[in-house]
A and B are shown apart, each in its own frame.
Chain A
Amino acid sequence: MTNLIKLSAADLSGLLADRSVSSVEVTRAHLDHIAAIDTDVHAFLHVAGDAALATAARIDARRAAGDTLGPLAGVPIAIKDVLATQDMPSTAGSKILEGWIPPYDATVVRRVRDAGLILLGKTNMDEFAMGSSTEFSAYGPTHNPWDLDRIPGGSGGGSAAAVSSFEAPLALGSDTGGSIRQPAAVTGSVGVKPTYGGVSRYGSIALASSLDQVGPVTRTVYDAALLHDVIGGHDPLDSTSLTDSWPSMAAAARAGLADGALKGVRVGVIKELAGDGFQPGVTQRFDETLALLSAAGAEIVQVSAPNFEYAIAAYYLILPAEASSNLARFDSVRFGIRVNPADGPLTSERVMAATRDAGFGPEVKRRIILGTYALSAGYYDAYYGSAQKVRTLIQRDFDAAFAQVDVLVSPSAPTTAFKFGEKMTDPMAMYLNDVTTIPANLAGVPGMSLPMGLAPEDGLPVGLQIMAPAKLDARLYTFGAAVERLLEASWGHTLLSRAPELAPTEMFASEEGVV
């Protein structure tokens, strides 16, 4: 019998539907694998094994009773720790929320539960999603399954490492400036940042409200589409949630598998997202992918987005500004840890200050200070105000580009996974890693990363980013599925099948994990 953990969610869905396997078996296989390798990978901050098995048993019983279940019912999923879960701690990777169990579920978590998915646990992340490596998690970094000495990307390195190391077939992430797409790129997995407003943010611990978006983290484009269909759609609890009705992303992805799906597709290559600062192997794989696309009938068009040059600057004003305000509520009064000052009176102000000093890590403090400064009287227009103008210009660049092409492509990240510690002392170097992904957040357009090979110089995964006009997420899935098929056909295998096998480190890892 097949190794259950290596199957896609879609394949598991099929086996579960015809009752070839039970959800309990599938769930147990993943839990066993987590037990075997997660000491090394550290993708999870919390594993809810008993609850997962109990839920799986309920889904199996419902299936046995003939209940109508959704396509992903019984399939395990990992949840980024930024999402509120009422039965699991939700820390956003921060010490200030250590042990906090919310009294409610995020809307996406509720939807995932209602669709019968099995929640395995919560995944690691940079504290409050601030970072590109998970090195800023208060609970220690996650390791890249391709090379345990390297970062898995961030902030959602835990979710990306979980799916790429076969600990979970599916995961949820959140993407403020690339936190889904960049980890997907450096771990050889698939990640999608939906159109802003396409997926509810209610219950997602806010980093930057106008940029945050929850999305799927998977190993295949089709799996991402299946998960997108579960979590997407209007939520009255999120005022920025779009009221549009959405087409099936799964159907869109299936359309991409048709022969000739790439024929005549106008593919825009953004001039500004190439060249200096891009690792040669990344550029090489990107160029090869363009050649394949061209050969498959796509029309490659060079486009310019002149204002992308200012994207990082604008982003690092808007994000800290919003974050400084969003993170004000962490004050020890209603939830989270409370730290009393070492001496002096215990006024609320002093307890708040002591709690925030002890509870927030260095990157969080850095951004709160940046944001507080950017919003200050006398600086607002020069910083926050100007950044908003840049944002408008970037949106116009996208509008102009999408007037010429159907999709835009670029490498998902300028480099492959870097080594731990490499950029910890240089915030700017860390920030520059998001140069490719940030424009989509500033404009609210959907973006996807999927694997496009291994960089020759280090043998590490390289990601292709695809962007589509706002609300046309379906186009991402159609095009993405077609590109994925094209690339895998050229390789003769999936990229992740070339990832190193991680050896169990736990002596008690169960044999039942492989059935």
Chain B
Amino acid sequence: MKKAELMDYDKALELFEPVLGFEVHVELNTKTKMFCGCANEFGQGANTNTCPTCLGLPGGLPQVNAKAIESSIRLGLALGCEIAEYSRFARKNYFYPDTAKNFQTSQYDEPIAFNGQLTIELESGRLVTVDIERAHMEDDAGKLTHVGGATGRIQGADYSLVDYNRGGVPLVEIVTQMIEGGEADSPEIGRTYVAAIREIVKALGVSNARMEEGNVRCDANVSLRPRGSNILGTRTETKNVNSLRSVERAVRYEIQRQAALLAAGGTITQETRHWHEDTGITSAGRPKSDADDYRYFPEPDLVPVAPSREWVEELRATLPEPPAARRKRLQADWGFADLEFQDVVNSDLLDAVEATIAAGSAAQAARKWWTGEVARLANVAGVTADSLVQPVQVAALIELVVAGTLTDRLARQVLEGVIAGEGTPLEVVELRGLAVVSDDGALIAAIDEALAAQPDVLAKIRDGKVQAAGAVIGAVMKAMRGQADAARVRELVLERAGTAE
């Protein structure tokens, strides 16, 4: 549907009540895959991290990754779920070439975690509690590349290549209950919920949590129900929405699209939909009926998972502070304004700033450096800021500025040196000879020389035109190759101008 055909958002909400549901897939960062010993990593050639089991070769058998079970239980606990005393894997049978066994090893009616809750806070301060139906374990599919054809999709492709390196990577799928009452906040609820999940898995350390790499993937279910009706509308499932902003946009788009269709007397097809990041629209995928028959049955090649209550409690004790609570605490401790704090959170720099402050920096200085210069350099390099430099180095840099050894401008050069691998900030200062000249003698000599060279300026200063000092300051700074504190130079210029008879 073209954007122009969408119903106005406010109008859509006037006529319909949105009902949401989310399925978030979290890729666990275990060393090995879910059911075999192959490395859970990418970057090597296609199909290099494979074995008879994850390639689905005849005779291959699964073995459960104990670390993946542990991660799943911790994630379940962090989502407020109950942990099953007896949980089983089940086969979800369907044919698709990216699924080596032509069944996915998943969980059906006996998931590892169920009945959870997650309360999220919207920008308005509104609190929304999302009920979690279940969090279950399963293995990921391989990756298909469609070759030939214009779109990169299967339609029109000449052939397709399969890479099973991702096949068998452990996933936890988190399924919400229906979310009603979201109203106009529905798109924001989607974004905030997925952000909260992402924050939790990151805090737990169970996933790399990079949405752009597919570590966290969201399927968004949206349906509309006419005002005054209590009958649920037909839902669509927008698959693999892979950024927080896209979740928000996709939910909003579906509300407007479905509203336009329904208001025109049309019907919604129960189907999956593809999200198009570039154009901001969804398009029809495959029909999905409730009668889709995956012929689930308990996986006979695996024994049930029966985590002892003692183990579950041990794992509960390892849970980190809930991210939302931690954010509240940190903002209060640091005294950041809302916008300042949001900037840190949105830049994903909470950990970096916290570590920098812990290493002795003032909160505002830590924030300023990370969201400023470090973020800028990271952006140029196309990497994340916290991968560019260690918090302890940033703290050392800030310390040098506070001590007056470096000006901000010099500090930026030192930071570049640190990032270039030249050593600690102190080592870079020495290596590049970047320290501020704080020896007044050297400055005075340069000032006297500059004043002597510009007698007209000297005269103006003596006439009380203090702003004329700028020209002399500039000359001095140039002579010192910038390695002087401009404020101190100014003081000294005025002093020398007054006394140099």
Which residues of A pack against B, CB within 8 Å? 83-84, 90, 92, 97, 100, 102-104, 106, 201-206, 208-210, 236-240, 321-322, 324-325, 328-331, 333-335, 348-349, 352, 372, 375-377, 380, 384
Contacts and interface: CB of A to CB of B under 8 A. Distances in A.
Interface in B98-128: 100-103
Given A238-B61, A239-B301, A352 B55 contact: no
Query: Considering residues A240, A329, A376, which has the most beta carbons from chain B within 10 angstroms of its beta carbon?
Result: A329
B62 to A, nearest CB: 6
Contacts of B57: 84, 102-104, 329, 334-335
Most buried by A among B58, B64, B162: B58
| Closest A-B pairs by Cβ, 9 of them | A328-B102, A375-B295, A209-B300, A210-B300, A203-B59, A205-B58, A84-B59, A329-B56, A377-B293
A236 B35 CA distance: 12
B481 to A, nearest CB: 65
Contacts of A203: 52, 59-60
A282 to B, nearest CB: 33
A405 to B, nearest CB: 29
B297 A239 contact: no
A377 B290 CA distance: 11
A138 to B, nearest CB: 15
Give the interface residue-count category, chain B. 20 to 34
B342 interface: no
A325 B91 contact: yes
Nearest to A322: B300
A245 to B, nearest CB: 19
Interface in B286-322: 291, 293, 295-297, 300-303
Contacts of A335: 57-58
A204 B59 contact: yes
Given A239-B302, A240-B300, A348-B160, 17 more contacts: A83-B59, A84-B58, A84-B59, A90-B58, A201-B61, A202-B61, A203-B59, A206-B301, A237-B63, A239-B64, A322-B300, A325-B103, A331-B95, A375-B296, A376-B293, A380-B295, A384-B297
A324 B94 CA distance: 11
A376 B297 CA distance: 10
A226 to B, nearest CB: 25
B226 interface: no
Interface in B145-192: 160, 162
Interface of B: 51-52, 55-64, 91, 93, 95, 97, 100-103, 160, 162, 291, 293, 295-297, 300-303
A334 B297 contact: no
B315 to A, nearest CB: 22
A179 to B, nearest CB: 16
A240 B52 contact: no
Contact of B291 (A321, A325, A377): A377
B101 to A, nearest CB: 5
A240 B302 CA distance: 6
Given A321-B297, A377-B293, A206 B63 contact: no
Contact of B52 (A102, A321, A324, A372): A102
A92 B302 CA distance: 23
Contacts of B297: 321-322, 325, 375, 380, 384
Contacts of B160: 348
12 contacts: A84-B52, A97-B58, A201-B61, A203-B52, A238-B61, A239-B62, A333-B162, A376-B293, A377-B293, A377-B295, A380-B295, A384-B297
A328 B95 contact: yes
Contacts of B103: 325, 328
B156 to A, nearest CB: 12
B101 A329 contact: yes
A382 to B, nearest CB: 14
Contacts of A100: 58
Given A239-B64, A349-B95, A352-B95, A329 B100 contact: yes
B93 A331 contact: no
Given A236-B63, A239-B302, A333-B97, A103 B52 contact: yes
A212 to B, nearest CB: 9
Contacts of A325: 91, 93, 103, 295, 297
A348 B97 contact: yes
Nearest to A334: B55
B97 A331 contact: yes
A202 B302 CA distance: 12
Nearest to B299: A209
A240 B59 contact: no
Nearest to A331: B102
A240 B301 contact: yes
Contacts of A104: 51-52, 57, 59
Contacts of A380: 295-297
For A206, A208, A333, A380, the residue with the greatest tally of chain B CB atoms inside 10 Å of its CB is A333
Contacts of B100: 329, 333-334
A329 B102 contact: yes
A508 to B, nearest CB: 35
A352 B64 CA distance: 29
B75 to A, nearest CB: 22
Contacts of A321: 297
Contacts of B300: 208-210, 240, 322
B61 A328 contact: no
A328 B302 contact: no
Contacts of A236: 63
Contacts of B93: 324-325, 328, 375
Nearest to B302: A239
Contacts of A334: 55-57, 100
